[in-house]
Amino acid sequence: MTGESKKAGSRRQRAGGQMSVRLKRMRGESLKPPIASVAEDGEAAKPQATLDCGWGKLIFAQTFKTNEGVVEALRGERRDRRDIAFYVRDPHVLLSLAPQEIFLDPSHSYRLELPTYRAGSRQPRGYFIRRLSSQSDAEAVNAIYAARKMVQVNPDFFWSSRDSRSITCFVAEDEASGEIIGTVTGIDHGRAFADPERGSSLWCLAVDPQARHPGIGEMLVRRVAEHFKARGAAFLDLSVMHDNEQAISLYEKLGFHRISIFTVKRKNPINEKFFAPQIESYDALNPYARIVVDEARRRGVHVDVLDAEGGFFRLSFGGRSIKCREALSELTSGVAMSICDDKAVTRRVVEKAGLTVPEQIEADSGEKRVAAFVKKHGRVVVKPARGEQGRGVAVGLEKPQDVAAAIAGAREVCDRVLVESCFDGNDLRLVVIDYKLVAAALRRPPQIVGDGRRSIAELIGAQSRRRAAATDGESTIPVDDETARCLAAQGFGLDDVPDEGAEILVRKTANLHTGGSIHDVTDIVHPELVDAACHAARAIGIPVVGIDFMVQAPDRPDYVFIEANERPGLANHEPQPTAERYLDLLFPMSRVRHDEMAAET
């Protein structure tokens, strides 16, 4: 062959190879390089590449010569971790090697072609995105992971990896409060294992369910894409659950497309819900029942759903059977439940036990007495004697006509209506299980942030949709008389368009079901508040209860007792182990068995 013929042949080979690569990428196929291939910087691609990400290892299956090697890598999974084998091309073959140990994850893989990606014009408002840079950032990220039921990471891992060239963790920080409200992790495949395809991937996208700002998830994804595009990466891949329609819609909006790559994981307690037979009517349970059912299944406690819509189920273990309704069980007596059911009775019981309570009268005491009560205290609270989830409650009333209207509204919930003195401060919920504090959280009333374009009614609607999405529909913001009163007190109406950045209180009640948000303060709550809550639980004689105080600050001893909830929402208090302590109370020996099983795993 002549020199010219050799050059022409070489050009045809290169062109054919490039066309093959382009076709494979268009089809969404992964390129399987030979193990000895070389990346652009001259470094040989690492065989059997894995990367510790804190929550578990990311196993790059395309770098393994055999499927047996991938199985062995998955078998090395540590306790309480979730290893992921990604870029699996022949899952049916891989699963046949260890069907009792591994399973095909019900997720889709998506890819963003970075050379053609264009940055969006929209910018974050009210928050900014930066790299994780401190131990407190790491702890805040873990809190978000817990709230989203994701595997947590040792904060020391984040800190030790802060200068890593393979792993980059971004956080979204609220400009006003300084709180971390979102996080995402990016993996540079070139740095991780000298990937000849120059790939990258996105993991652990999570937004704080209490966050007020829209578009946080989109901005985090864009930041990762722009980060890797600037570093010459060819694509950004991710894995998303097949039924996560909201996330899939976001990814497709940003230009991601499906690729034929699969994910395989190990059968462990963390992944059980993805491979174990589903409990009948499980999907119809609300989050407060589901968190208990999930913990029961992890421990080997048998579950029978009795009425999914009402949240009723039966738990059985070691010959013992207990019926529950969410966090309410047969261990709570009818007397204790009756005490909590009537707010006036609850107040009298805890007052006799020595707790500080607000002054209170019944609305049926007569107009003159009610008027004198309002005049004496200046501001009052009107609430039904029986009721839950903040229905019929009006806070901070000063005018007689507002009090009268609130009383009429509360009567729609319960015939007996209470009027009590109002105290400024923060709404604190303390969850007491087996007469010990398990969780403490501030409950903040719903707020909106103006953008200079939308009306208050539109902003409330958008915020309500975000709260509903973050809580499985449990939290929405009603637009009613209480909302109108709260806005009018600040000089606003529903049709007004607030300035950009203006923060407006929508309601004065902080209940989750009326749009409030919950912020964990267990680590800083004052010991005297803990003692008072536990003392109240013993006075009522109730083993599981949510005690509500009005406090100046969670780390100060001053408080006023508000009410006791016999069915506290345990799902609202992650990362605290509310469901774990609840199962400890119901079936003490199940914890021993769970620990033994975990140790074997």
Lowest mean per-residue pLDDT among 166-170, 479-483, 566-570: 479-483
Residue 45 has a pLDDT of 66
- Per-residue pLDDT tens digits for 90-101: 999 999 999 999
Q: Which residue has the higher pLDDT, 370 or 52?
A: 52
Burial 268-301 (b: 16+ CB within 10 A, else e): bbbbeeeeeeebeebeebbbbbbbbbbbbbbbeb
Asked if pLDDT for residue 380 goes beyond 90, the answer is no
- Structure-model confidence comparison of residues 273 and 45, the more confident one: 273
186: buried, middle or exposed (CB in 10 Å: 19+, 13-18, 0-12)? buried
Arithmetic mean of pLDDT over the chain: 86
Compute CA distances 119 → 204, 225, 227, 255, whole Å.
21, 9, 11, 11
Contact 529, 431 (CB under 8 A): no
Q: 323: which DSSP letter?
A: E
Give the lowest-confidence range in 220-224, 285-289, 485-489, 523-527: 485-489
Q: Tell which residue, 419, 409, 387, has the closest CA to residue 513.
A: 387
Q: Residue 14: its pLDDT value, please?
A: 43
The confidence score (pLDDT) of residue 80 equals 84
pLDDT of residue 55: 93
Beta-strand (E) ranges in 308-377? 312-317, 320-325, 328-329, 360-362
- DSSP annotation of 38: B
pLDDT score recorded for residue 38: 37
Locate 517 and state its tokens.
């948000």
Which tens digit of pLDDT belongs to each residue from 345-363?
A: 999 999 999 999 988 888 8
Exposure b/e, 535-561, CB count within 10 A at least 16 = b: bbbebbebbbbbbbbbbeebeeeebbb
% residues pLDDT > 90 (the chain): 52
| Average of per-residue pLDDT across 139-156 | 88
Q: Within 10 Å of residue 174's Cβ, how many Cβ atoms?
A: 18
- Where residue 137 falls among pLDDT bands split at 50, 70, 90? very high
Extract the runs of DSSP E, i.e. beta strands, from 175-296: 180-188, 199-207, 235-241, 257-259, 262-266
Element (H, E) at 171: strand 167-174
Asked whether the predicted pLDDT for residue 600 surpasses 70, the reply is no
Give the pLDDT confidence of 503-559 residue by residue, as tens digits: 888 887 777 878 888 889 999 999 999 999 999 999 999 999 999 999 999 999 999
Q: Can you give the pLDDT at residue 392? A: 80
Q: Tokens in use for 293? A: 């059912």
Sketch the domain layout of the chain as residue ranges: 1-26, 110-258, 277-327+581-600, 361-422, 446-507
Give domain 110-258's CATH superfamily: Gcn5-related N-acetyltransferase (GNAT) (3.40.630.30)
Helix (H, G, I), strand (E, B) or coil at 372: helix
In this prediction, residue 61 carries a pLDDT of 96
Higher pLDDT, 104 or 503: 104
- 574-585: average pLDDT: 92
CATH number of the 361-422 domain: 3.30.1490.20
Order of strands across the sheet with 360-362?
Answer: 360-362, 417-421, 380-384, 394-397
Q: Give CA–CA dist 545/533, Å, rounded.
A: 9
372-377-381-382 Cα dihedral, nearest 10 degrees: 0
Dihedral angle at the C-alpha atoms of 15, 20, 22, 25, nearest 10 degrees?
Answer: -160
Q: What is the mean pLDDT of residues 479-487?
A: 86
pLDDT tens per residue, range 310-328: 999 999 998 899 999 999 9
401-407 average pLDDT score: 85
pLDDT recorded at residue 125: 86
What's the whole-number mean pLDDT along residues 562-587? 92
| 364 vs 49 pLDDT, higher one | 49
Q: What is the pLDDT of residue 43?
A: 55
3-class DSSP state of 387 = coil
Q: Which residue has the higher pLDDT, 137 or 159?
A: 137
Angle, vertex CA 574, rays to CA 82 and CA 208, nearest 5 = 85
Residue 157 predicted with pLDDT over 70: yes
User: pLDDT, tens digit, for every residue of 5-30?
Assistant: 444 444 444 444 444 444 444 444 44
- At residue 33, does pLDDT exceed 80? no
Omega before 446 cis (within 30°)?
Answer: no
Question: Residue 49's pLDDT is what?
Answer: 96
At residue 417, does pLDDT exceed 80? yes
Distance of alpha carbon 394 from alpha carbon 376, whole angstroms: 18
pLDDT at 5: 45
- Per-residue pLDDT band at 389 (split at 50, 70, 90): low
What pLDDT was estimated at residue 515? Answer: 83
The model's pLDDT over 70-80, given as tens digits with 9 standing for 90+, comes to 999 999 999 88
> Around Cβ 218, how many Cβ atoms within 10 Å?
18
pLDDT at 329: 97
Q: 3-state DSSP call for residue 601? A: coil
Share of the chain above pLDDT 70, in %: 91
pLDDT at residue 533, rounded to an integer: 97
In this prediction, residue 187 carries a pLDDT of 97
Top pLDDT among 78 and 401 is at 78
The Cα 343–Cα 568 span in angstroms is 15
